[in-house]
Structure 1
Amino acid sequence: MRSGELAAAAGVNQQTLRYYERRGLLPEPDRSLGGHRTYPPEALERLRLIKAAQRLGFTLAEIAGLLSPHWTRPGLQETAAAKLTEIEARIADLTTVAQTLRQALTAGCQDLTTCAHTPTCPLPLT
């Protein structure tokens, strides 16, 4: 399959394919006699795995490690556990932010400077 076909099937652009090749996420494809990149059917599955891992919050570096046949530690279990801990911490932080914003709305804060000088200001200015 040519790069345009693969990109369309995976929902990415052709520059993404080249970027993933440079990062080692996607193996260098064969070339046709005309110099066009030709990818095997497995490339689409690999791209889908990459995109699914990105949606779960994995970085490209983490994904490269998980996809590498030479990388044995940390494996998926350890990497997923670390990512879950990171995501849960971010959720806790975002929950605090949401609560503070709700308090700011309830307090009727109209102006940050004015609100900061009132005892009911819920915004963390320290």
Structure 2
Amino acid sequence: MYRIGELAKVCEVKTDTLRFYEKHGLLAPSSRTESGYRIYTQTDADRLRFILRAKAVGFTLAEISELLSIELDKANWACADVKGLVDDKLSHVEQKIAELERFRRSLSSLSQACCGGPESAEHCSILEALETNCDQIRCENHRHDAKQTHKQ
């Protein structure tokens, strides 16, 4: 049996994390003492570790809740159901990675198009590209007058 602080220490989380999971219905103390302290069992500790591992691989609280439902009623679910959840998550992650790669390429192009000098930003190629929704950013769009300086 664990009190909340003991379970938190054993699983290397903060007590606020346990309260958060409790608030979201993922974890509940097995009982409470007469003075109201939460009491957790080894089963609760195992459940918390399941939650933490699922969170570590990127599952949301809603997805973890679904996985826990399956975990509690394995006989009425197929491996295909669990694999489907994982494959859906994997597809979502791959879409996010592709989106982040597009962001990286665009930001890299913007950065390379700008001289980054102390000149006034009146003709900054980055701002011009963002203003015109330009797909191709060219360094030659950067028209700084050598005598202009940014006033601070």
Coarse TM-score class (shorter-chain normalised): 0.7 to 0.9
Q: Gaps (5+ residues) in structure 1?
A: none
Partner of residue 88, structure 2 = 82
Partner of residue 101, structure 1 = 107
SS at 1:83 equivalent: helix
Q: Distance in 1 between matches of 2:115 and 2:21?
A: 46
Amino acid corresponding to residue 78 of structure 1 in structure 2: G
Could you tell me the TM-score, scaled by structure 2's length?
Answer: 0.67
- Ranked by relative contact order (alpha carbons within 8 Å, sequence separation 6 or more), the top structure is 1
Partner of residue 30, structure 1 = 31
Partner of residue 113, structure 1 = 127
Q: Gaps (5+ residues) in structure 2?
A: 117-123, 139-152
Q: How far does residue 75 in structure 1 lie from its aligned partner after superposition?
A: 3.0
Q: Identity of aligned pairs, percent?
A: 35
Partner of residue 15, structure 2 = 14
Larger Rg: 2
Q: How far does residue 4 in structure 1 lie from its aligned partner after superposition?
A: 0.6
CA RMSD of aligned residues (A): 2.6
How many residue pairs align between the two structures?
122
Decide which moves more: 108-117 or 44-53: 108-117
